[in-house]
Amino acid sequence: MTQTAEGPPREMRSEPRPEKIAEVERISERLTGSTAVLLAEYRGLTVDQQQKLRRSLRESGAEFNVVKCSLARLAADKAGHPDLVPLLEGPIALVFCDADVSQATKALVNSAKEMEALVVKGAVLEGAILSAADTKALAALPSREELLAQLAGVFTAPAQNVASLIAAPLRDVANLVSALEEKKTAAGEAA
């Protein structure tokens, strides 16, 4: 039997360590509580690249977490996402999004374009598992602010049309009166 730095030999342990239980619980809660969770393999990223990635994700309202695959698999099962387990291979990072999912996904996908070692593996969006291709397509969607601006434009267009329709008869009457005055003036000058 091998004595480990953490305590008794592995063969003698019957219970998982409390720290690992707490970590599985934390990941499981984040999997169920976040609007979206993006999965990425970060093998080969330098420390500077990881810091740049963390910064860009933080600016978009997301949190980059490196996790042990074995703990992430246990947490996925506990959170009711057993179909997520095949994606949890290799050195994996989970990006928890609670704000604008589109912005966070764009930040991750753009970083993956810049950093060849970063691989987008998929996502969990409101309980649904997305493939890597679906996750990249999600990054192409407009942000929440852009969608709200487009929606506001849709709502204001009918109001502008109604205002134009209401103003049209008044414009027509004003044009008619103006034309009659010009005709009268021209008739008076001719006489």
Q: How confident is the model at residue 154 (pLDDT cuts 50, 70, 90)?
A: low
- 155 and 82 co-located in one domain: no
- 66 and 158 co-located in one domain: no
Rounded Cα gap, residues 16 and 97, in angstroms: 29
Task: Please state the pTM of the whole predicted model.
Answer: 0.66
Is 2 within a domain? no
- 146 and 135 co-located in one domain: no
- 189 and 122 co-located in one domain: no
Is 134 within a domain? yes
pLDDT value at residue 39: 92
- 132 and 148 co-located in one domain: no
- 176 and 130 co-located in one domain: no
Dihedral sign (CA 85, 91, 96, 97): negative
Q: What radius of gyration do the chain's Cα atoms show?
A: 30
Q: Is 73 helix (H, G, I), strand (E, B) or coil?
A: helix
- 131 and 153 co-located in one domain: no
**Residue 137 sits in a domain of what CATH number?**
3.30.70.1730
- 156 and 74 co-located in one domain: no
- 120 and 150 co-located in one domain: no
Which helix (H) or strand (E) segment holds residue 97: the answer is strand 92-97
Looking at the chain, list the stretches that DSSP marks H as alpha helix, in order from N- to C-terminal side: 18-33, 47-59, 69-78, 101-114, 132-139, 144-190
Rounded Cα gap, residues 101 and 150, in angstroms: 18
pLDDT value at residue 160: 66
Residue 184 has pLDDT above 80, yes or no: no
| Contact indicator for 138, 125 with CB cutoff of 8 Å | yes
- 168 and 122 co-located in one domain: no
Is 95 within a domain? yes
Residue 159 has pLDDT above 80, yes or no: no
- 43 and 124 co-located in one domain: yes
Residue 57 has pLDDT above 60, yes or no: yes
| Tokens read off for 132 | 């890597």
- 92 and 167 co-located in one domain: no
Range of the domain at 84: 10-141
Provide the angle, in degrees to the nearest 10, between the axes of the packed helices 18-33 and 69-78: 60
pLDDT digits (tens, 9 = 90+) for 85-126: 888 888 899 999 887 888 888 999 999 999 988 999 988 888
Please name the residues in contact with 95: beta carbons below 8 A apart, sequence gap of 6 or more.
37, 38, 39, 40, 57, 62, 63, 64, 65, 104, 108
Per-range mean pLDDT, top range of 10-19, 45-54, 96-105? 45-54
Tally of domains within the chain: 2
Is 91 within a domain? yes
